[in-house]
Each structure stands twice: as structure tokens, then as C-alpha cells.
Chain A
Amino acid sequence: MSGKRIHMVWFSGHGVGPAGWDHPGWPDGYRWDRPEVYVDSAKTLERAGFDAIIFADTMAIPDDYQGRMDAYLENAIAMPKLDPAVLTPMIAAETSSIGLVSTLTTTFYPPYLMARLTATLDHVAGGRSGWNVVTAFTQRAAQSFGMDRLPEHDTRYDMADEYLEICRRLWATWDADALVMDRASGRFADPAKVRPMEFEGRHYRAAGTLNVVPSPQHRPFLVQAGSSGRGVRFAGTHADLVIATQQTPAAMRAFRDDVRARAAEAGRDPDSVKVIFIVSPLFGLTEDAVAERRRAQNPRRLLEVGLAQLSVGLGYDLSLEDVDAPIDVERVPAAERLRQPDGTMPLLREAAERTGSWASLPMTGTPEQIATRIEEVVEESDCDGFAIRGRWIPQFVEDVSGGLMSVLRARGRVLPPTPGRTLRERMAMPVS
């Protein structure tokens, strides 16, 4: 079987942190706070044919559940998180093909700082750097930046549009061919190809010239993950890659069509934006066995972890809800996305215990079975690929790289490593 190329991305949904630190797959402990585990895994993922690693990020320890940080600290849920923009250069220096995407929020970084940081990251990564553009969503994070409250959701995207416009204009202050570096004449750059920008918007203004020379991609590779209507419009306008969560191939197709339509509206070639979906494959029984063991050891803890995790996802304190009743979407509107294909809402307890895989398409089996399922879903949805919700546990990295990816490679669906190519170039290449 052959067909269109499948893009495969490793999505570190917990960011740069210790998720899975007490998993038995770490017999000798897990130095999540040292670069080696990430660098070594990235080399394996690169060889296996992954296009990129995306590091999620947030700027606060959550306190949604019970209004306190306690459950999160006790159980290492959605925290701790190191700054991905500091880790990715360490990985970049020891790899040659894989893209490295840091999540950075427009809500808190001054735009010039961001344009400069992302352009520099692209230099250090030799054109393999990406920026996952997010707007912040927790009040607690805002309160570390002198704000009482975050702006409303749609206002945040209006602000982000202006913000991206400033960044684009700053990157464009140097033409792509402005750098001359002519040793004979001593001429470094052509001043006629370097011009200041000026922007005055409703939310931001900036004027001047970026002090970073054009990076290999000139405009860093942009990733977007918002799935609201406003988020999709933003993605269609700006993103090179969109990652999203949908439960069925039909929903995936509808979402992808929507993004592509938005891109066309923004005057872009729809093929220039790839749409991929987050999945959490379970290989064999290993993972179930772990969950089973935890349930047996401490059922209350498993439930609490799930509730605390889901409270972050929904931005709602689920300690106030009855765990044995279906989730009440009147009180928790964000839970709408947990609605099951049969139209009913799950019991809170069930949803909590499924946390991590909820709302995405289930995939279980051997590497061959999962590869086949992936090919089927691509056929049914026409999606561009998948973001594997990755954990840095060695066995999982091995199952995905040596198992699943080898099968997809053998079936001609993923690209081998492409040293020397930028991330944007790699994403546009066909398999052949």
C-alpha cells in the first residue's frame, strides 16, 4: 500500500517536565531536569523519521482543582515545566534533521523579544526551529505579569493577530538576501536591503529594525493548536502546521477542510498548511497494566489525578461536581468536547480516569496494527498526519520509533531524515 505522505510529529504535551517519572520503565530514576534524556530520545526520533518535536508549555502551576496547587504539585500534573526555548538549542546542536518547536505565549512576551528570540532559535537550529503560537489561558499566569485578569478569549486572538503582524514585519526588516559577507570588500550586508518597520495597532505598537540577520527560514516555522472558531481563523492566516484533537475521522476531515478554507480566504495555498491530529497510541497491554497496577494500589489517587488534570483542561474546579453523574455541560460548557459519539456525556469518573486519551481517536495494538489504523484514518479523513502524544519513557520511545515508525517507513509513508533541509522545506517534501 502506498499513498500520500504521513507527517509524524512527537508532541510532548506535558512540556519539558517529569511526566511519567514514577513509571516502572525508569528503573534507575529519571533525570528529567538534565538535557540527556531529551537529546538521546530526539536522536532516536530523528532516525525514525519524525518531522518534529513540539514542546507544549504553560506559565503557571495550575490551581484549578480545589482552588489550590496541591494536587498538581503532589502528582506532577501539568508541572513542573522548564522553558522549552532553553532546551531546544541543546537538542538542535546534537541533531541534524528533526524540527524543534517551542511553545511560546504571545500574551506575556514583548513582541520584539519574541521576534528576536525565534529568529535566533532558527539560526542556532540551522533552520529547523518552530514556534507554537499560543495565547495564555490561565488567570494565575496573568497574575505573574502584573495583570489582574487575562483579556477575553477572542480579544486575545485579536491581540495575537497584531502581535504576529509585528513579528512578521520585524523578520522582514532584512531582505532574505541582505547579507552579503563579501570578504574582498569587507561588506557585511547591503544597507539598501535593510529597512525599519513601523506598526501602530489597537493593542501593540513597535518601530525599528530587528538586530538579527535573516535566519535560514527567514520566518520561523509557525505551529498553532487552537481549535475554537477564532483559533482556526488565526491558524488559517498564519500557521504552517496545525495540531488538533478530534475523536472521529469524519470530524477530522471537517476540521481540516475548515482550516484549509480559512487559509484560502487569507490568500494562501491550502497545501501550505498541514493539519495533523493528536493521538495516544497504546502498544499491547503494557500501558493498561500500569494503569491497572495504579488502580489497585490507590484508586482514590488515580481518580484525583484524573480530576485535577481534567480541571486544567476544562478550566473548571471539578472537585465541586458529583463524580458519579454525567458531566453537566450547563455548568461546564468546555466539557462539550467530551461528548461521546452516541451523543451522551460520560460520567465524570469515567472521563477523569481516561484523562490523557480523552477526546482523541483511540489507537491500541501492535505497531503493525496501529500503522494500519493510521493509514486507514488518513484515507478516511484526508488528514496530513499525526502528533503522537509522546512520553520520554525509553520503552515508549522505542515502541514508537523502532516499532510504529519502522512499519510506516517500510510502507513508504514517512520521510527518512533530511539533513540540510529546513523544517519548512522538509514539511513540503513528498515521499518517493
Chain B
Amino acid sequence: MSTQEGTPFRLVWFTAYGPRLWDSPDSLLHDWRRPERYRETARVLEQRGGFDALVLADTTAIAHGGTDRIAPYVEYGLEGVYHDPMPMLAAVAGGTRHLGVVATLSTELYPPYILARALGTLDTLSGGRAGWNIVTSGGAHTARLYGRDALPEHDDRYDRADEFVEVAKRLWEAWEPDAVVMDRETGRFADPAKVHSIDFEGERFSVRGPLTLPRSPQGVPVICQAGSSPRGKRFAAEHAEMIIVHKNSVPLMKEFREDVRRRLAEAGRDPDSCKVFFTAHVVVGETRAEARAKRAALHALPSRTDAAALATLEARMGGVDLTGLPLDEAPPEHLWEGSNSFLGKQYGADGARPTLREIARREAMKDSFVLEGTAQDVADQMAAAMDEIGGDGFAVRDALLPSVALPIVDRVVPILRERGLVRTAYHYATMRDNLLDPHFAAAALKDAEDIA
């Protein structure tokens, strides 16, 4: 029996189907292209970790950086060398029973009917565990892959996304919940009066419907979102049930979450109906020195060259050319300016100006927000941060390797469980019901079978 000491929070794992950490020693045992280690590690997240979901990020095109070259990304296996998340999430769903599976799919690049059908199928076959991380896509390189000269401007993309989500929801709800009869006596499968065409005619989409499949267990998959622009936040306030966002510090996290909750209330929604997950890079050691050494070893992997780090940063900054800039000085001042400046927002708090090398290395390791130390340290840091932020959860952002996941699941989670702060059981069948379950933590372990 656990007692609650602090603000309970949820955990999800956030990665992509790609080669991240392909040259770490642990990867010798696992071919990142194959589904085995994703399935095995996902089972650990579920059975021993009580994680809510595995979220796979995605980008449709290999990054081109600031010099319009894909070479560094190909050479080191960096940004954009990602496989389609759907087949991998299907394989993971087939090997788990409670874990949510959240796919990043773009409203700009999918026809709504295909997206709705694929996610409806994933939700059906997983027994109600599918989620959709909604992204819009931009960029000339992505456009050209799709035979287009350009993709719409940012705000237009969100207008399209609004209409897309409306179409998708209507497709998911075109079969009434009790349309399937399956009466063996009469041989009747479904009641035609309860299956409807949607006949959607919008500004951008014309979709007749219905889907070829009955309503799935969740009806609508869990809607996830990651945008942090004003238009993206408005979109999230209207649609999102979970948000995954990166912030470099706890005060920025707290501010972001309060803003989201205010916007939800303004949109007439219960602020608790959307959970905000902050990404974190977690490094656990037997001792603090060992944790530090582990992190240093990752930074020292052969693929982590300055060129690779710089290319990663260029991609994150949306294709700014950083070549030729001195590595041991702060990037020039104009790159820190502007309300939407990546550097200004993520690294410029209180006028700070880290060197280009330091920023690039941290971006390359995705460890701009790090929880590091012994299991006790990490648990304490998580709990303290969550007390400050006010709640919801963390998204562990790293390769889904056993060597990364096991120390978190088997050493950090038990400490947090002891304090009643994280999930001990899945009380419901669907991802949404578990995600929104207010009694997810600190509850007695009623059904050992659920978690064992």
C-alpha cells in the first residue's frame, strides 16, 4: 500500500522509428530496423513501468540543413531518417495489452479517409489503444516529394488541420455504436439504418464515406498535439487530449502548462481533459559518477561528431546555415532575436548565451532537459519538478532500447510508486480512459494481473 507524497504524474515514451543510438554498444544486440526490441521494451514499459503510451514522432523527409544538403543526415543517421511509424506501432500493439500506441501523422500529407481508416483499424485491433499525434507539414523538400511546389503557410496549415480533424471525426462516428448486430439466429450482421454516409463538403475536403469498418472501441483515437505557436496552441485547446512539448527548464514548463489550461477553459473545456507531457532525457546510474560517465559516453559515440551535432542543430532551427561559425563562441546575436527564435526560447533565458558547440551537442543528444543521477536522484528531480509544474507527466525522450528503459522502469519507477506518484495499474481497457483516470496513481494494486 502506498501513500501519496506530492503531485502524481504519468509517463510516456517518446521516440521515432529510426536509427537513434545505432552505434551505442547496446545496439549490438538489436537491429533498429526490426520490431523485436520495440516490442520487448514496450512490454517492459507496460508490465513493469505503467507507462501510458509509446509515442512515435515522425518526419516525412530527410532534413536538408542550412546548406541544402542531406549528406550529413544520411552519413550519421540523423534527423528525418525515419520509417513510417504505423507498421511499427501495429507490431507493438500486437505484443502489448494496455500500452497506448500514438502515431504522428500529418494532416498535410494524408488523405483523410486513409488516415481515418488506418487509425480506426489500429484502434480496433488494439482493443482501443490508438492515439494520433497531429502534425502539419511544411518545407519545400517535403512538398516536392509529394509533387507539389510548396506547402501552405503555417496558419493555413492549421486551418486545413481543423477541417481535416472534423472530417476524420465524422468518419470515425459514421457507424453508430450499436450498428453491429451479429445475430447468429437471423444471420444479420449490421443494421443499415445505423450506418451513415458523411457527405462532407468543406473548403478543402469532399468526403462521402462511411468507413469500411465499424466504430472502434474508442470511437475517436486519443488526440495528441505538439505545436507551441499561438495558432498551434489554439488548435490544441480545441482538440488535444495530450500535448507533448519540449521546454528547457521547469519554470518554462509551468508557464506552458498554465497557458494551455487557461486556453482550454476559454474554449469551454475542462483543463483536466488534456494532459501535458514534457520531454526529458533521463540518465540513471548506480552512482552519480556513473550516471555522468554514461552520459559522457553517449556524447563520445563515434557518430557524435561536431559535423553531426551542427547538422542536427541546423535542422532544429529550421534550416539555418551555421557552417563557418566559430564553435566556441555564442551564435551571432540575430539568431537569438524574434519571438519565435528557437535559440532565444530554448537557450536564451535570462540573457544566457551558451557556445554554438554546447548547444549543438545538447541538441544532438536531445538532452537539453536532463534528469541525471542515481535512481533516487532522478525520482526526486521528477517529483520536485512536477510539484512545481502542477502535474500531468513526462515524456521520456530517447531510443527505445532495453539499456535505456530498464534503469528507469526497474529503479526509478519503484521509488515513485512507493511514494504513490505514478501508475500502479491500468483500470480501464482503453488508452483514453486510463489517461484521464484521476485514480491512476496511489491506488491500491487491486488486480496484480493487470500489472504483472
Contact = CB atoms under 8 A, between A and B. Distances in A.
Nearest 10 A/B pairs, CB to CB: A186-B302, A90-B94, A188-B77, A186-B303, A76-B189, A143-B208, A120-B84, A83-B121, A191-B71, A70-B192
Nearest to B106: A113
Interface stretch (B143-151, B270-278, B444-452): B143-151
B87 A73 contact: no
Interface string A63-86: 000001110011110011111011
Contacts of A33: 124-125, 214
Interface in A6-47: 16, 18, 21-22, 29, 33-35, 39
Contact of B93 (A76, A90, A212): A90
Contacts of A178: 74
Given A93-B95, A185-B302, A189-B75, A112 B60 contact: yes
B212 A59 contact: yes
Contacts of A87: 90, 121, 125
B75 A184 contact: no
A35 B209 contact: no
Given A186-B302, A187-B76, A208-B141, A21 B71 contact: no
Contacts of A209: 61-62, 70
B210 to A, nearest CB: 7
B187 A298 contact: yes
5 contacts: A35-B125, A74-B188, A75-B189, A76-B190, A94-B94
Contact of A89 (B59, B91, B147): B91
Contacts of B61: 208-209, 211
A123 B190 contact: no
Interface stretch (B32-40, B235-243, B280-288, B289-297): B32-40
B184 A22 contact: yes
B114 interface: yes
A205 interface: yes
B35 A93 contact: yes
A154 B114 CA distance: 24
Contacts of A191: 70-72, 74-75
B195 A194 contact: no
Contacts of A186: 23, 76, 301-305, 308
B94 A89 contact: yes
**Interface residue range, chain B:** 35 or more
Given A34-B125, A116-B83, A212-B83, 8 more contacts: A73-B190, A80-B213, A81-B212, A81-B213, A83-B118, A86-B125, A143-B206, A190-B75
| Most chain A beta-carbon neighbours within 10 Å: one of B80, B127, B206 | B206
A117 B86 contact: yes
Contacts of B83: 116, 119-120, 123, 211-213
Contacts of B206: 143, 146
A178 B80 CA distance: 16
**Interface residue range, chain A:** 35 or more
B23 A140 contact: no
Interface in B198-231: 205-210, 212-214
B90 A89 contact: yes
A111 B109 CA distance: 11
B22 interface: yes
B82 interface: yes
Contacts of B120: 83
Given A75-B189, A206-B145, A188 B91 contact: no
Given A86-B86, A144-B209, A188-B303, A59 B192 contact: no
B121 A82 contact: yes
B113 interface: yes
A331 interface: no
A365 interface: no
Contacts of B416: none
A111 B146 CA distance: 7
A90 B91 contact: yes
B156 interface: no
B255 interface: no
Given A61-B195, A112-B146, A211 B86 contact: no
A112 B209 contact: no
A144 B88 CA distance: 27
Given A146-B206, A191-B75, A22 B187 contact: yes
Contacts of A81: 212-213
A407 B106 CA distance: 50
B208 A189 contact: no
A332 interface: no
